[in-house]
Structure formats: structure tokens, C-alpha cells
Amino acid sequence: MDNQKKMTRREWMAAVFSGVALTAGYGVLAGEGLLFLLPEGGAPKTRKIFAGQISKYRLGAVQTFYDLQGNQIMVRRSESGFEAFSSTCPHLGCKVNWEEENNRFFCPCHRGIFDADGLGIAGPPGDAGQRLATVPVEVDEAGGVVYLEVKDVKVRGGKG
Ligand code: FES
């Protein structure tokens, strides 16, 4: 007696479609895995964000903004132009404040002091020769506007 059952046309179609679906599923999974493992091509993307009108900046004063990751940026106007600094202390990450009356940045956590150019001059950042991270500034004199160039937010599957 023959134990082999002959496959019906319906069973054969179901088997073929299951195989195709399984192959497509593993293909997508493999593609996603490969994208995760491979480094992103090209230079990191940046984006310009508005950092106020030039006329609203007082000499020696700081205005604060936030980048697209929510990090605070302090923009200072000096005789030589505009400079922007991260408010994150390079010592242990506390928030640094601008003290206009002392013309310096101060970190209250360990009494770290930075000069007006962001260089650590006292406390742990001074001892370690650390400085505040800078953020590129673009001044549009014609438009009377200041911009910051910040790291863009990666949107998975997006075009930017
Ligand atoms: S975290 Fe700023 S001085 Fe330590």
C-alpha cells in the first residue's frame, strides 16, 4: 500500500505562498539587521536653528536655546562677535551658568569656572584643562538673525 499522499493543488499553493512569505520575512529582517550593523554613510547631518535676532543681544549677555536633542546652548555676544557653548559641564555633566557680572561661566556642582571663551580656569575643569563644547554659529547680518548649526535628529526611514 502506498503511504505517500498526493498533494492537492490547494496544499501545493499554500506551501508555495508560505515559503514566499517566510523568505520575504527573513529578507526584511536580514536587511534591517544589516542597516543596524553598517555605519551610516557620509558626514553627520546638521540643521540650522534660529537663535534670535542680532538686535536682541546685549553685549556681554547670553541667550539660551535648545538643540534638537534638548541640550541647552548658551549664545554670547562679545566685541568679536557671537559664540555658542554647550551648558553641559565637561567635568561630570552639571549645568553651567553664565555670570555676566563676573564675565565667566560657573558650574555650581564642584565650583568649576570657565572664562568667557569657555576655557576651564578653576575647579576640576581648570585642573583638567577642559573647556565647554562649542556650537557653530552663523550670523546673517543682512537678515539680522543668528543661527546655530546643530546635529540633526535621525528619523528612521526618513529622507533627511
Ligand atoms: S560637574 Fe562641573 S565642575 Fe564638576
- Alpha carbon distance 42, 44 (integer Å): 7
CA of 116 to the centre of ligand 1 (A): 17
Same domain, 126 and 79: yes
Q: From the alpha carbon of 94, which atom of ligand 1 is closest?
A: 1
Q: Do 71 and 92 belong together in one domain?
A: yes
Q: Is residue 158 part of a domain?
A: no
> pLDDT tens digits, residue range 2-56?
556 677 888 878 877 787 777 776 766 666 666 666 666 667 799 999 999 999 9
- Residues 24 and 66 placed together within one structural domain of the fold: no
Q: Whose CA is nearest to atom 1 of ligand 1?
A: 92
Q: What pLDDT was estimated at residue 32?
A: 67
Considering its fold, how many domains does the chain have in total?
Answer: 2
With a 6 Å cutoff on the Cβ, whether 124 touches ligand 1 is yes
Same domain, 22 and 87: no
Residue 134 near residue 149 (C-beta atoms within 8 A):
no
Examine the domain organization and report whether 74 and 135 are in the same domain. Answer: yes
Cα 6 to ligand 1 centre (Å)? 77
What CATH code is carried by the domain that includes residue 144? 2.102.10.10
The verdict on 73 and 33 lying in the same domain is no
Residue labelled with grid coordinates 565647554: 132
User: Same structural domain for residues 19 and 52?
Assistant: no
Tell me, yes or no, whether 2 lies in a domain. Answer: no
For residues 32 and 84, membership in a common domain is answered with no
101 and 32 in a common domain: no
Residues 50 and 112 in one domain: yes
Same domain, 90 and 123: yes
Tell me, what's the pLDDT at 157?
A: 59
The answer to whether position 156 is within a domain reads no
What would the pLDDT profile of 91-102 be if each residue is shown by its tens digit?
999 999 999 999
89 Cα nearest atom in ligand 1: 2
What is the residue range of 18's domain? 7-38
- Kindly write down the DSSP assignment for every residue of 93-130, as one continuous string: -PBPEEEGGGTEEEETTTTEEEETTSBEEEHHHHHHT-
